[in-house]
Amino acid sequence: MSKASCFHCGDICISELITYNDKSFCCNGCKTVFEIFQENDLTCYYDLQNAPGAVPKEIAGKYDFLSQENIIEKLTEFNDGNIQIVTLYIPHIHCSSCIWILENLTKLNPNISSSQVNFGKKNVRVTYNSKQASLKEVVLLLSSIGYEPYISLDDFKTGNQHINRTLIYKLGIAGFAFGNVMFLSFPEYFEVGEFWLEKYKHLFRWLMFFFSLPVVFYAGQDYFISAYKGLRSKLLNIDVPIALGLAVLFIRSTVEIIFDLGSGFFDSLTGLVFFLLLGKFFQQKTYSFLSFERDYKSYFPIAVTKIFEGKETPIQVYDIKKGDRLLIRNEELIPVDGILINGKARIDYSFVTGESETVSKQSGDKLFAGGKQTSGVIEMEALKSVEQSYLTQLWSNDVFSKNKDDGFTTLTNAISKRFTIAVLSIAILATSYWLVVDSSKAMNVFTAVLIIACPCAIALSAPFTYGNLLRIFGKLKFYVKNASIMEQLASINTVIFDKTGTITSNQKSTASYEGKALTGSEETLLKNTLRGSNHPLSRTLYDILDEQDIISLNHFEEHLGQGIEASYEQNSIKIGSASFVGANETALLNTAVHISANSQYKGKFTFYNSYRKGISKLFNKLKKNYDLVILSGDNEGELENLKKLLPSKTKLIFNQKPDDKLEYIKYHQSEGAKVLMVGDGLNDAGALAQSNVGIAISENVNVFSPACDAILDASKINQLVKFLKASKNAIKIIKWSFVLSFIYNIVGLYFAVTGQLAPVVAAILMPLSSISIVVFTTIATNIIGRKLE
Partner 1 sequence: MGVIYILLSISIVVAIIFFIAFIYAVKNGQYDDSYTPSVRMLFEDEIIKDQKNPTVKTKKTN
Question: What DSSP assignment string belongs to 125-164?
Answer: EEEEETTT--HHHHHHHHHHTT------GGGGS-SSPPP-
Comparing CB distances to partner 1, the nearer of 51 and 339 is 51
CA distances (Å), origin 239, targets 53, 273, 469, 743: 51, 12, 23, 20
User: Residue 370 contacts by C-beta under 8 Å, 6 or more apart in sequence?
Assistant: 296, 299, 333, 334, 349, 351, 352, 389, 391, 682
Q: In the complex, what is the shortest distance from the CB of residue 120 to partner 1, in angstroms, rounded to a whole number?
A: 5
Give Cα 518 to chain centroid, integer Å.
48
Comparing CB distances to partner 1, the nearer of 119 and 224 is 119
Characterise 110 by phi-psi region: left (phi > 0), alpha (psi -120 to 50), beta (else): alpha
Euclidean distance between CA atoms 223 and 244, whole angstroms: 9
Q: In the complex, what is the shortest distance from the CB of residue 324 to partner 1, in angstroms, rounded to a whole number?
A: 41
**Quick one: which H or E segment has residue 315?**
strand 311-316
User: Residue 148 contacts by C-beta under 8 Å, 6 or more apart in sequence?
Assistant: 54, 56, 57, 59, 90, 92, 142
Q: How many CB atoms lie within 10 A of CB 566?
A: 23
Provide long-range contacts, Cβ within 8 A and 24+ apart, for 751-758: 751/448, 751/452, 752/430, 752/445, 752/448, 752/449, 752/451, 752/452, 752/453, 753/426, 753/430, 753/445, 753/448, 753/449, 755/434, 755/438, 755/441, 755/444, 755/445, 755/448, 757/448, 757/451, 757/452
Q: In the complex, what is the shortest distance from the CB of residue 44 to partner 1, in angstroms, rounded to a whole number?
A: 4
Comparing CB distances to partner 1, the nearer of 53 and 681 is 53
Q: In the complex, what is the shortest distance from the CB of residue 105 to partner 1, in angstroms, rounded to a whole number?
A: 13
Q: What is the largest CA-CA distance in the chain?
A: 116
User: Residue 383 contacts by C-beta under 8 Å, 6 or more apart in sequence?
Assistant: 322, 336, 337, 338, 339, 366
Q: In the complex, what is the shortest distance from the CB of residue 752 to partner 1, in angstroms, rounded to a whole number?
A: 33
User: Residue 570 contacts by C-beta under 8 Å, 6 or more apart in sequence?
Assistant: none
Q: In the complex, what is the shortest distance from the CB of residue 268 to partner 1, in angstroms, rounded to a whole number?
A: 20
Strands 600-611, 627-631: pairing is unpaired
CA distances (Å), origin 141, targets 102, 116, 545: 11, 16, 41
Q: In the complex, what is the shortest distance from the CB of residue 21 to partner 1, in angstroms, rounded to a whole number?
A: 9
Comparing CB distances to partner 1, the nearer of 181 and 227 is 181
The amino acid that residue 118 corresponds to is: N
Q: In the complex, what is the shortest distance from the CB of residue 137 to partner 1, in angstroms, rounded to a whole number?
A: 22
Euclidean distance between CA atoms 51 and 294, whole angstroms: 31
Comparing CB distances to partner 1, the nearer of 103 and 699 is 103
Comparing CB distances to partner 1, the nearer of 93 and 238 is 93
Q: In the complex, what is the shortest distance from the CB of residue 171 to partner 1, in angstroms, rounded to a whole number?
A: 10
Q: In the complex, what is the shortest distance from the CB of residue 183 to partner 1, in angstroms, rounded to a whole number?
A: 8
Q: In the complex, what is the shortest distance from the CB of residue 283 to partner 1, in angstroms, rounded to a whole number?
A: 17
Is residue 627 within 8 A of residue 673, CB to CB? The reply is yes
Half-sphere exposure at residue 219, Cβ-oriented, CA atoms within 13 angstroms:
30
Comparing CB distances to partner 1, the nearer of 91 and 532 is 91
Euclidean distance between CA atoms 721 and 787, whole angstroms: 12
Comparing CB distances to partner 1, the nearer of 167 and 377 is 167
Comparing CB distances to partner 1, the nearer of 157 and 165 is 165
Comparing CB distances to partner 1, the nearer of 172 and 614 is 172
Q: In the complex, what is the shortest distance from the CB of residue 136 to partner 1, in angstroms, rounded to a whole number?
A: 26
Q: Which of 470, 483, 469, 458 is nearest to 780 (CA)?
A: 469
CA distances (Å), origin 390, targets 61, 296, 393, 687: 28, 12, 6, 16
Euclidean distance between CA atoms 664 and 652, whole angstroms: 13
Q: In the complex, what is the shortest distance from the CB of residue 237 to partner 1, in angstroms, rounded to a whole number?
A: 29
Question: What DSSP assignment string belongs to 596-610?
Answer: EETTEEEEEEEEEEE
Question: What DSSP assignment string belongs to 395-407?
Answer: GGSGGGGS-TTTT
Euclidean distance between CA atoms 169 and 134, whole angstroms: 38
Q: How many CB atoms lie within 10 A of CB 160?
A: 10
Q: In the complex, what is the shortest distance from the CB of residue 485 to partner 1, in angstroms, rounded to a whole number?
A: 24
Comparing CB distances to partner 1, the nearer of 117 and 628 is 117
Q: In the complex, what is the shortest distance from the CB of residue 3 to partner 1, in angstroms, rounded to a whole number?
A: 8
CA distances (Å), origin 345, targets 58, 80, 335, 362, 377: 18, 42, 15, 7, 8
Comparing CB distances to partner 1, the nearer of 46 and 601 is 46
Q: In the complex, what is the shortest distance from the CB of residue 7 to partner 1, in angstroms, rounded to a whole number?
A: 6
Comparing CB distances to partner 1, the nearer of 38 and 226 is 38
Euclidean distance between CA atoms 480 and 286, whole angstroms: 9
Phi, psi of 501 (to 5 degrees): 85, -15
Is residue 306 within 8 A of residue 328, CB to CB? The reply is no
- List residues near partner 1 by CB under 8 A: 2-5, 7, 10, 22-24, 38, 41-44, 46-47, 50-51, 96, 99-100, 103-104, 107, 116-121, 163, 165, 168-169, 172-173, 176, 180, 196, 199-200, 203, 207
Comparing CB distances to partner 1, the nearer of 78 and 667 is 78
Comparing CB distances to partner 1, the nearer of 51 and 140 is 51
Q: In the complex, what is the shortest distance from the CB of residue 678 to partner 1, in angstroms, rounded to a whole number?
A: 30
Comparing CB distances to partner 1, the nearer of 10 and 614 is 10
* Length of the chain (residues): 789
Give Cα 302 to chain centroid, integer Å.
22
Euclidean distance between CA atoms 526 and 574, whole angstroms: 9
Comparing CB distances to partner 1, the nearer of 201 and 361 is 201
Q: In the complex, what is the shortest distance from the CB of residue 5 to partner 1, in angstroms, rounded to a whole number?
A: 6
Comparing CB distances to partner 1, the nearer of 5 and 591 is 5
